[in-house]
Structure 1
Amino acid sequence: MKKPLFILAFLAATALGGLQPALAGQVPGAASSPDSPVSHRDRVYAAEQFSNTVSVTDPVDNRLLGVIRLGDPQPGNFSPLYRGQVLVHGMGFSPDHRTLAVVSIGSNSVTFIDTATNAVKHTTYVGRAPHEAFFTPDGKEIWVTVRGEDYVSVIDAQTYEEKARIKLPAGPGMTIFSPDGKYGYVCSSFNPETDVVSVADRQIVGKVKQDSPFCPNIAASADGEQVWFTLKDVGKTMVFNARPPFNVLKSIDTGPITNHVNLVRTPKGSFAYVSIGGLNEVKVFNTTDFSLVGTIPVGKLPHGVWPSGDGTRVYVGLENADALTAIDTATNKVIATIPIGQAPQAVNYVPNAVPEGEGTQNLQPLGLAGQTAHLQLKAAKGGAASPTSVSLFDQGLAQVLQASVTGLEPKQPYVLALAGKADGSGDIEPLASFMTNPAGAAIVNAVGPIRQIVQGDSTSDRRYLVILAGEDGKTGKPVQIQAD
C-alpha cells in the first residue's frame, strides 16, 4: 500500500534533520519573521564603486545574471553634462523586498530600483556625500545618512521626496533600525558618537561613545537585544545594548580596515560576521560571549556582508578582487566566488526579490566592469609579508588604482609611487601621498594611464609600484615594493 504524500513528506523531513522548526529572523527582520530558504527567486546585490554598477546574482547556483548600469566610468563621468551616477556605494531594501535603494556618493543620489525588473523607478538627490540608506521597518520612510553634512535625510517611500531632516553631529555614517521600528541607530564617520533616534518623533534619545570617529557600518540583531558597529580607522568592532540605557557591552580588536558587520542566526546560535579588509578575512564572533569562533580567508579587501534569508550563507563583496564570495555558515568555509563589477562596497541579500518571471530584464553584461589587473606588495627588506593589495580598474583610456595598504607605522605619512627598478630604487614618479590610520593602514586611490606604464612591453620602460616613507618631495627609503 502506498504511503500518503504527507507521510512521505514527514519521513523526508525526519531524514533531513527531524521536526525541529527552522530558526527564524534574519536581519534586518525580526526574530518572529519566518526564515526564507535559498531560492531562484532570491537575489544578491552588490554596489560597485568604480564601474558604477549594481551586480545581480542568483544565489542557488551563485551565478552572475548581469549588472544594472547606473553610470559611466571615468573620464566620461567628469563631463559637466553627465547625468549618470558616480561612486555607487551604499544599499538597502524595502521590507516587502520589492525596492532596492542605492546610494551614489559622488552624485549625491539615492536610486530606487524595482527588484523584479531591475528598472530604475526614481532617483532622489540629497545633500553632500550620502553614504547609506535604509527603509524603516514599516516601509514608509527611507533614512539616508548624509555623511558629507550633519543630518539624516528622511525620504517618503511613496513620493521619493525628502520630508524631514534629523540634525546630528557631522558625518553620520549609517542608520539601521530596531526590528520593532522604535529606534534608529546612527553611527558617525566624523565624530566618536553613535546616536539613538526615536523613529516616532525623530528625537535623539540616547548616545553611545565610539572608541574612534570613523564608523562605516552598523547592524541590529533580530531579537532586538544588540547593536554592532565597526570602526575602520582603529580596527575595532563595538557592541551595545539595543535598549535603554544603550550601554556598551563589548569593544573587540578585530583588525586593520575593519569594514562591515552583519548578524546571522543559525542552528548553532547567533553570530556576528565581520569583514577585515586589511587581513583579507572574515571573522566570526559568538554574540552571547563575544568570543572569536572562526576566521575565514576570503580574498582581497572584503567589504560588504549580508546573510541569506535562512542564515545558511553569508555573502561578502571583495573590493580589490571584483568578486562576491559565498560562505557556508555551517562550516564557515567559502563555497563560491563570483566575478562581479569593480570595487564592490555594500552587499544586500534580498529573499524573494523576483516573485515571478526570469528577473533578468534591464540587465547588461559586465563588459569593461570586468577588466581589472591585480598586484601585491611586500616588505622591502624581508620581515613579515604584507597583505597590501592593489587593483587597477580599467576605465578605458585610464585606470583607477586602489591600494589596500597595511603593515605600516600608524599615523605616518607615505607616498605610493612608480619606481624605475624592482627594488624600489631608480627614478620615482609619485602617484599619491597618504597618511596611515591608527592601525597602520590606509585605502589609497589614484587615477591615470597607470597600467600602460606598469605593464609596458619594453623592459627598460617598465615601472614598479613602491611605497616610500615621508611626503611627496621628501621621501625616504622604500618600505614596500611590488611582489609580482
Structure 2
Amino acid sequence: MNSRSSRPATAAPRAPRGRTLGAVAAAAGALALSLPVTAAHAATVPAPRAAATADAVAYAANVFDGTVSVIDLATRATVGTIPVGERPDDIVLARDGGRAYVANGGSGSVSVVNTDSRAVVATVAVGEAPQNMALSPDGARLYVPNSGSDSLSLVDTATQTVAATVPLGARPTSVAVSPDGSRAYVAAGRSVLVVNTATRAVSATVALSADVNTVLASADGARLYATTELDGDQDAVAVVDTRTLTPSTAIPVANRPYGMALSPDGKRLYVTRERAGALAVVDTATNAVTASQPVCAYPLDVAVASDGASAYVACGGDDNVTVVDATALGKKDAFPVGDGPFAVALVPTRPADLGLSLTATPRPGLGGSVDYTLTVTNNGPAPLTSGTISVTLPNSRPTSPDCAVSGTRATCALTSLAPGATTTRRFHVPVGLLSLGTPYTVTATRTVSAPVDGNAANDTASRTCTAVTPLIITCR
C-alpha cells in the first residue's frame, strides 16, 4: 500500500477564483526558483494509461461542499459523489482498502465509508477540528488529532467508537504511527510529541525550529519527515532520527510544504509546495531536492500510485486532482472534482475470490440419474458484480434449471454476490441403461468475474460418478 500524505491544519484562505489562480501563478513563477527545476513542464496531454493497475479509484475530499469525489482510474471519469460531514479535509484508507476514513473538520467527526458500496456506514464523533489522521499498522486503531480540542482520539475500527482520548496540552495538526505500532508521532506547534500507544501518554518531545504542519514515517521506521513552516524561503522538511528522537537534517523546501507521500520503494519523497503551486521530489538517500515543477493552484495533498509511475495531487484552487509523471513531474491528466479538494487517496482494486465446490447425489432406479449441485462462494473481500462459470457435462442429455445447456456444455451467469454469500446451480444427468462402469464427470470452472479474482486455486471443481447399471451408481 502507498504511503499516504498528510496536510497541515489550515490551508491559506481561499480567495475568489480569478485572484487565487493569479496569485498562485505569480508565486509559481517568482518562487519556484528557490528549488531545483527539471526540464520545462510539458503541456497537458492525457497520457496512455497502463493496461493493468492495482489502483482502482481515487477519492478526493472536497472541503467546501462536504463531499468525497470518486474517480474511476480506468475510465478516467468521476463516477460518484459521497456526502460526508462538514469540511472534510483528510482521507485514510484501511489496510485492505475496504474502508475509507474521512476527517470532518467542521463536524468534529470521522465518516466511515464502505469503498465497495461507496456509502457512509458509520459516523464517529471525535474532538473538535479533526484532521491528518493515521492508522495503526494492524488497522485496529485510527489516530485522530483534534486541533480544536488539543487532544488525540483513538478510534477502535472494529466497533467504530472512540476507545480513548489522549490530552496533549498543545494544538495537534498531524499524526504518523511507527511501523511497529508502538509510537504515535503528533505534530504540535514547533515540536513533535511522541505518544506511547500502550500507555496512551506523551513519552517524549522532539523540539524543532519551526511550526510543524504534517508528519510522515518512513517504511522502516528509522526516519520521521516533518513539513515545517517558518518564513517562506526558510520552510523545510525536517528529518528526525526516530532512534535518538533528534532532528538529523532540514531539507529546504520553500513556500509552505504541505502534503507528503513516499514512493513504493521509499527512495523518493513527494512534497506539495502550496504557495508555489508546485510539487517537489526529495531523494531520501541524499536528503536533497532533485526536482520541482508547477502543477496547479494550491496543491494540498499527494498520493503515489502503487506502481510508482504517477503522483496524484489534490489541487484546492483548481478543483481537480492532477496526475503527474512520478519521475519527470510532467502533467498527464486532470480530473474535475468538487469544491476545494484538500485530500486525495488511491483505493486499490479489491478482489472477489470465488470458490467452487460440487456435490453429487445418485438417483438409482430404472431411469437412474445423478443430480449435481455446484456451490459458488464469494470469499471476498469485495462483492462480486458479475461472473461466468463454464461447466463440462456428460454426453447423456443433461439439463439444468439454472444454467444454459448446449450439448455437453453449460454456461452459468452470476450476478451480485456479497462477501461470504453463496449461490447454487443444479444439473440433472441421466444414466444410460447399459452403462457398464461408465464414468459421469461434471467439471465447473470460473472463466470470467468482476472484480478480479486473484486466486486460481479454487476456480475449478469436479465430481465423478460411475454407473454399472441405472440401479447401481457410486459417486466419489
Alpha-carbon offset, residue 40 of structure 1: 6.9
Q: Partner letter of residue 246 of structure 1?
A: L
Question: Cα 1:316–1:148, aligned 2, differ >3 Å: closer, same or farther?
Answer: same
Q: Is the 8 A contact 1:226 1:239 kept in 2?
A: no
- Aligned to 2:325, which of 325, 328, 332? 328
Q: Partner letter of residue 214 of structure 2?
A: N
d(CA) in 1 for partners of 2:228 and 2:199?
28
Where 2:275 maps in the other structure, the secondary structure is helix
What pairs up with 1:282-301 in 2 under 5 angstroms? 282-301=279-298
d(CA) in 2 for partners of 1:28 and 1:38?
22
Using the size of structure 1 for normalisation, the TM-score is 0.60
Q: Is the 8 A contact 1:137 1:179 kept in 2?
A: yes
Q: Is the 8 A contact 1:313 1:327 kept in 2?
A: yes
Q: Is the 8 A contact 1:38 1:309 kept in 2?
A: no
Question: Cα 1:297–1:308, aligned 2, differ >3 Å: closer, same or farther?
Answer: same
Where 2:131 maps in the other structure, the secondary structure is strand
Question: Cα 1:327–1:66, aligned 2, differ >3 Å: closer, same or farther?
Answer: same
Comparing 251-260 with 121-130, which one deviates more in the overlay?
251-260
d(CA) in 2 for partners of 1:38 and 1:315?
17
Counterpart residue number, 1:260: 259
d(CA) in 2 for partners of 1:304 and 1:152?
22
Counterpart residue number, 2:406: none
Counterpart residue number, 1:277: 274
Offset from partner CA, 1:388-413 (integer Å, 9 cap, x none): xxxxxxxxxxxxxxxxxxxxxxxxxx
Q: Is the 8 A contact 2:256 2:274 kept in 1?
A: yes
Query: What is the root-mean-square deviation of aligned Cα atoms in Å?
Result: 2.5
Where 2:254 maps in the other structure, the secondary structure is coil
- Aligned to 2:72, which of 33, 58, 61? 58
Offset from partner CA, 1:355-382 (integer Å, 9 cap, x none): 45569x9xxxxxxxxxxxxxxxxxxxxx
d(CA) in 1 for partners of 2:74 and 2:181?
31
Comparing 217-226 with 277-286, which one deviates more in the overlay?
217-226
2:116 paired with 1:116: yes
Q: Is the 8 A contact 1:41 1:353 kept in 2?
A: no
What pairs up with 1:357-396 in 2 under 5 angstroms? none
Counterpart residue number, 1:146: 146
Alpha-carbon offset, residue 315 of structure 1: 0.8
Alpha-carbon offset, residue 112 of structure 1: 0.3
Residue-pair matches, total: 311
Question: Cα 1:160–1:356, aligned 2, differ >3 Å: closer, same or farther?
Answer: closer
Counterpart residue number, 2:175: 175
d(CA) in 2 for partners of 1:195 and 1:229?
12
Counterpart residue number, 1:319: 316
Counterpart residue number, 1:193: 191
Question: Cα 1:26–1:105, aligned 2, differ >3 Å: closer, same or farther?
Answer: closer
Counterpart residue number, 2:216: 219
Q: Is the 8 A contact 2:178 2:184 kept in 1?
A: yes
Q: Is the 8 A contact 1:93 1:99 kept in 2?
A: yes
2:345 paired with 1:348: yes
Where 1:317 maps in the other structure, the secondary structure is strand
d(CA) in 1 for partners of 2:255 and 2:170?
24
Counterpart residue number, 1:158: 158
Alpha-carbon offset, residue 98 of structure 1: 0.9
2:62 paired with 1:91: no
d(CA) in 1 for partners of 2:307 and 2:203?
33
Q: Is the 8 A contact 1:48 1:88 kept in 2?
A: yes
Counterpart residue number, 1:74: none
More strand as a share of residues: 2
d(CA) in 1 for partners of 2:226 and 2:195?
16
d(CA) in 2 for partners of 1:289 and 1:205?
30
Offset from partner CA, 1:38-87 (integer Å, 9 cap, x none): 637622111111111111112344332221122xxxxxxxxxxxxxx211
Question: Cα 1:147–1:43, aligned 2, differ >3 Å: closer, same or farther?
Answer: same
d(CA) in 1 for partners of 2:142 and 2:348?
19
Question: Cα 1:246–1:157, aligned 2, differ >3 Å: closer, same or farther?
Answer: same
Gaps of 5+ in 1: 1-24, 30-36, 71-84, 362-484
Using the size of structure 2 for normalisation, the TM-score is 0.61
d(CA) in 2 for partners of 1:231 and 1:187?
10
Alpha-carbon offset, residue 278 of structure 1: 0.9
Where 1:278 maps in the other structure, the secondary structure is helix
Q: Is the 8 A contact 1:140 1:158 kept in 2?
A: yes
Counterpart residue number, 1:418: none
Counterpart residue number, 1:43: 57
d(CA) in 1 for partners of 2:73 and 2:282?
24
Q: Which 4+ residue blocks in structure 1 deviate beyond 6 angstroms?
A: none
d(CA) in 2 for partners of 1:280 and 1:316?
11
Counterpart residue number, 2:200: 202
Gaps of 5+ in 2: 6-50, 352-381, 387-415, 417-476
Counterpart residue number, 1:409: none
Offset from partner CA, 1:326-376 (integer Å, 9 cap, x none): 1222332221111111111121122225745569x9xxxxxxxxxxxxxxx
Question: Cα 1:331–1:232, aligned 2, differ >3 Å: closer, same or farther?
Answer: same
d(CA) in 2 for partners of 1:57 and 1:281?
22
2:155 paired with 1:134: no
d(CA) in 2 for partners of 1:296 and 1:172?
30
d(CA) in 2 for partners of 1:289 and 1:198?
30
Question: Cα 1:197–1:310, aligned 2, differ >3 Å: closer, same or farther?
Answer: farther
Q: Partner letter of residue 291 of structure 2?
A: G
Question: Cα 1:336–1:131, aligned 2, differ >3 Å: closer, same or farther?
Answer: same
Where 1:341 maps in the other structure, the secondary structure is coil
Where 1:289 maps in the other structure, the secondary structure is coil
d(CA) in 1 for partners of 2:385 and 2:299?
30
Alpha-carbon offset, residue 129 of structure 1: 1.3
d(CA) in 2 for partners of 1:358 and 1:336?
28
d(CA) in 2 for partners of 1:127 and 1:137?
23
Counterpart residue number, 1:475: none
Where 1:216 maps in the other structure, the secondary structure is strand
Offset from partner CA, 1:237-285 (integer Å, 9 cap, x none): 333345221211222331223221111145xx71111111111110111
d(CA) in 2 for partners of 1:262 and 1:38?
22
Percent identity of paired positions between Structure 1 and Structure 2 = 26
d(CA) in 2 for partners of 1:231 and 1:243?
17
